[in-house]
């Protein structure tokens, strides 16, 4: 029996594990190896690691973790999780069953992009969602926001901080007079012609409009809708919390879900996503899971 089983071994899951193995707890991590930022060549905004390749940050962290003998790492996917006597049981796609006293869900989210030809292939190269992560490198060049709905207003109003911005409405959203005034105040240009495709080589994006024009950009931003990966929170009966981008697993401030003994952290359990936040979230979940073990039966 492990003290804690962690589903998802990326930034959040590893940060939880680090606190737990340093408290000499037996931890199993099961990781499917599909980090959300795997499409990007550089990760920005993480103190001390700014500009490094996401995979390099991951490999360093994993190597440090594997030095702790109480860590058991498994490559694989958790497909089932249930409450059992004294804790939880999980089953992997590879057919293994593990038992743990506590469970941490750190499975991240999947991005759902609008169905525009050429967009998905450029995700993480010339199509971005987070200006704090990728805005600086665009050198204050021409930027675009592709509307997916009213939530794109926020991106359109924020983006002029990083460069002159055009808002491609693409029939997904029409600003009301108040919103038009806000966009004008921020100097945002509005393009109502439908977007036919996104093209462009390397780190440059080109928005191809239905009337044949092609708008060259240093970067195109799009708000992706998200869904939590793994389906484990549903199986366990954890409550979800709404966010403008989609539901995430609900937790208290210590990252415990509505199901006692089940913790959730990282993108799966917070709407505002970054590697820094995922690491902080994971550390909190790891410490909270540890305390719930240490203080069991005292109350």
Contact residues for ligand FAD, defined by CB under 6 A: 7-8, 10-13, 30-37, 39-40, 43-46, 77-78, 106-108, 111, 123-124, 130, 133, 229-230, 266-268, 273-276, 278
Beta bridge partners of 167: 145, 190
Closest CA to 126 of 221, 192, 34, 213: 221
Please state the closest distance from residue 124 (CB atom) to ligand FAD, in A. 3
Q: Which does 31 bind (CB under 5 to 8 A by kind): ligand FAD, Mg ion, none?
A: ligand FAD
Question: Which residue, 73 or 179, is less far from ligand FAD as judged by CB?
Answer: 73
Pairwise CA distance, residues 221 & 232, whole Å: 31
What DSSP string runs through 194-236?
PEEEEE-STT-EEEEETTS-EEEESEEEE--EEEESSSHHHHH
Which partner, ligand FAD, Mg ion, none, binds residue 123 by CB below 5 to 8 Å per kind?
Answer: ligand FAD
The residue (of 215 and 232) whose beta carbon lies closer to ligand FAD is 232
* CA pair distance 292, 256, nearest whole angstrom: 10
**Residue 209 interacting partner from Mg ion, ligand FAD, none (CB closer than 5 to 8 Å by kind):** none
| 274 touches, from ligand FAD, Mg ion, none (C-beta below 5 to 8 Å by class) | ligand FAD
Number of other residues whose CB lies within 10 A of the CB of residue 99:
15
| Whole-number Å distance between alpha carbons of 15 and 282 | 5
Q: Which is nearer to Mg ion, 13 or 144 (CB)?
A: 13
By a kind-dependent CB cut-off of 5 to 8 A, residue 45 interacts, out of Mg ion, ligand FAD, none, with ligand FAD
Under the criterion CB under 5 A, does residue 286 sit at the interface with Mg ion? no
Which two tokens mark 288? 């909270």
CB 214 within 8 Å of CB 238: no
Tokens standing for 295? 């203080």
Cβ 165 to ligand FAD shortest distance, Å: 19
How crowded is the C-beta side of 299, counted as CA atoms within 13 Å? Answer: 6
- Residue 100 binding: pick among Mg ion, ligand FAD, none (C-beta 5-8 Å cut-off by kind): none
Of 28, 29, 106, 156, the one binding Mg ion by CB under 5 A? 106
Residues near Mg ion (CB under 5 A) are 8, 10, 12-13, 106, 266
């Amino acid at each position: 029996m492990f003290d804690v089983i962690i589903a998802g071994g990326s930034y959040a899951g590893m940060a939880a594990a680090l606190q737990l193995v340093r408290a000499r707890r037996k931890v199993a991590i099961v990781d499917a190896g599909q980090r959300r930022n795997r499409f990007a060549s550089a990760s920005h905004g993480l103190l001390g690691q700014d500009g490094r390749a996401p995979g390099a940050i991951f490999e360093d962290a994993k190597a440090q973790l594997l030095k702790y003998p109480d860590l058991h790492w498994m490559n694989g996917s958790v497909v089932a999780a249930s409450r059992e006597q004294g804790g939880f049981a999980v089953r992997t796609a590879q057919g293994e069953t593990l038992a743990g006293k506590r469970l941490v869900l750190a499975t991240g989210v999947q991005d759902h992009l609008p169905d525009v030809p050429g967009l998905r292939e450029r995700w993480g190269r010339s199509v971005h969602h987070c200006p704090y992560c990728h805005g600086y490198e665009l050198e204050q060049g021409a930027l675009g926001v592709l509307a997916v709905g009213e939530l794109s207003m926020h991106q359109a109003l924020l983006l002029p901080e990083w460069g002159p911005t055009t808002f491609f409405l693409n029939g997904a959203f029409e600003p009301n007079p108040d919103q038009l005034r806000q966009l004008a105040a921020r100097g945002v240009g509005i393009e109502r012609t439908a977007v036919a495709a996104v093209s462009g080589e390397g780190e440059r994006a080109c928005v191809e409009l239905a009337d044949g024009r092609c708008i060259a950009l240093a970067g195109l931003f799009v708000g992706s809708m998200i869904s939590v990966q793994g389906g484990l929170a549903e199986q366990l009966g954890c409550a979800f919390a709404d966010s403008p981008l989609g539901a995430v697993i609900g937790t208290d401030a210590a990252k415990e879900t509505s199901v006692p003994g089940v913790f959730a952290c990282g993108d799966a359990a917070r709407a505002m996503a970054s590697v820094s936040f995922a690491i902080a979230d994971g550390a909190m979940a790891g410490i909270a899971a540890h305390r719930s073990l240490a203080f069991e039966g005292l109350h």
